[in-house]
Amino acid sequence: MDSLTHVALGACIGEAFFGRVIGKKAMLWGALAQSVPDIDFVAAFWMSPADNLLAHRGFTHSIIFILIVTPFLSLLAERWHRPYNISIRRWILFFSLQIFIHIFIDAFNNYGVGWFEPFSHYRISFNTIFVADPFFSMWSGIAFIALLLLKSRHPKRKYWWKFAIIMSSIYVWYCTINKIKIDSDVKQIAVHQNINYTQYFTTPAPLNNWLWYVVLGNDSGFYVGYRSLFDTKKDIDFKYFSRNDSLLDPVHNHEELQKLIRFSQGFYTAEKWNDTLVFNDLRFGQIIGWHNPEEKFVFHYFLQNSADNRLVVQRGRFAKWKWEIMKSLFKTIKGN
C-alpha cells in the first residue's frame, strides 16, 4: 500500500492505543511504527535495480523482522515516555501489531511480500487491492484529518479511530469478495473460449476495485485482458503475447535475468525494441491497457542498459493519462 495510507492508518491505531495517555503524540508514534517496514527504500542507494526489486518488501516485511525490531523499538519508546507508566508489554503489542498490519495489507497488492524471509523467498500476493486505491485510503485519511483537528481530550476522538479501522476492514472484505467473483468468472470464460492455461492471475486495474486485469498463461505465452464486475457477457477480449524465451538465450545465465524471472513469478515476456532487449513483468499491468490493448507493459526492464531501470515498477504508469483515458476507464468499468 502507498506510504500515506500507512501513515494515516498507523496514526489512527496509535490514537486507539495511547491517545488517552499521551495525547496527539500517540498519532506520531503510530505513523512512525506503521512506516518502519518501508525502511527498505534505502537499499536502492547501493543495490542494482534487479537486487532492489527483491529487497523491497523482502526481509523488512517478514515475520522474523517483527520479532527482531519490536523489542528494540518498545524499549526505546518505554524509556522516552517513562513518566506515563506505559508498560513494556503494551509497547511490544503496539509495535508488533502495527508492523504486522503493514505487511499484512501490503500482501493484498500484486508486488508480493516476503513474510518468510530469510528462510524462504516465496512472496505472498493476494492481488486484491491496487497499490494506490483511493477508496481504501479515504477512510483512514478522513479520520486522520479529524483527529488532527480535534482537541486531545475531545470525546469524538474515539469515534474517528474506530471509523478508520472498521471502514478500512470492511473495504478489504469487499475487495476480497470482488476478487472471488472475478476469479470465478475468469475460470468459466476460459473454458467457454477454449483457452488452455497453466497459470493465471487477476488484479485490480489502477485506482479502483471494479475493473480487473486478467492474465492466463502457459509455456508459450499469455492471454491478457480486462474484466469488469459489471460485465454481463461471458467473454473477455484477450490479446495474446508470446513469451519469446528464445530472445533470452544469449543472456540466459546472467544473474540479473535470473533475479528478474524469480521476481516475476513466471509471468514474463521478452521482446526487442529496435536493438534493445526488454524483459516485461506482466503482473503490473499495461499502460492504459483497457484503452489500447497493444500498449507496453508498465514493468519493462532494459536488459542491456540497467542504468535506465531505476523506476522500473511504475515506469510510465500514468504518463498517458488524460481526460480521454479517464473516460475510457469509466466506460470500461461500467461493463458491457
Mean pLDDT to the nearest integer, 244-252:
92
Mean pLDDT to the nearest integer, 87-111:
97
- For residue 85, pLDDT beyond 90: no
| Dihedral class, residue 313 (left if φ above 0, else alpha if ψ from -120 to 50, else beta) | alpha
Confidence class of residue 316 from pLDDT cuts 50, 70 and 90? low
Q: How far apart are CA 112 and CA 1, in angstroms?
A: 11
pLDDT, one tens digit per residue, over 287-315 is: 999 999 999 999 999 887 655 666 566 66
Percentage of the residues of the chain whose pLDDT score is greater than 70:
96
Tell which residue, 41, 34, 114, 116, has the closest CA to residue 313. Answer: 41
Percentage of the residues of the chain whose pLDDT score is greater than 90:
82
pLDDT, one tens digit per residue, over 135-190 is: 999 999 999 999 999 999 999 999 999 999 999 999 999 999 999 999 999 999 99
The overall average pLDDT reported for the chain is: 93
Confidence class of residue 319 from pLDDT cuts 50, 70 and 90? confident
* pLDDT given at position 136: 97
Give the end-to-end CA distance of the chain in Å, rounded to a whole number.
30
Q: How far apart are CA 106 and CA 127, in angstroms?
A: 10
* pLDDT given at position 164: 98
Alpha helices (H) in the chain, listed in sequence order: 3-22, 25-35, 49-55, 63-80, 88-106, 134-149, 157-192, 255-264, 323-334
Domain boundaries along the sequence of the chain: 3-174, 193-334
Verify cis geometry, omega within 30 degrees of 0, for the bond prior to 155.
no
Higher pLDDT, 43 or 194: 194
The cell 454481463 sits on which residue?
Answer: 232
Q: How far apart are CA 312 and CA 3, in angstroms?
A: 18
* pLDDT given at position 336: 85
- For residue 318, pLDDT beyond 90: no
Stretch among 113-117, 168-172, 226-230, 312-316 having the lowest mean pLDDT: 312-316
Check if the beta carbon of residue 162 is closer than 8 Å to that of residue 33. no
Mean pLDDT to the nearest integer, 273-290:
92
- For residue 258, pLDDT beyond 80: yes
* pLDDT given at position 317: 73
Stretch among 18-22, 66-70, 179-183 having the lowest mean pLDDT: 18-22
Higher pLDDT, 71 or 42: 71
- For residue 126, pLDDT beyond 80: yes
CB atoms within 10 A of CB 234: 11
Q: How far apart are CA 267 and CA 218, in angstroms?
A: 9
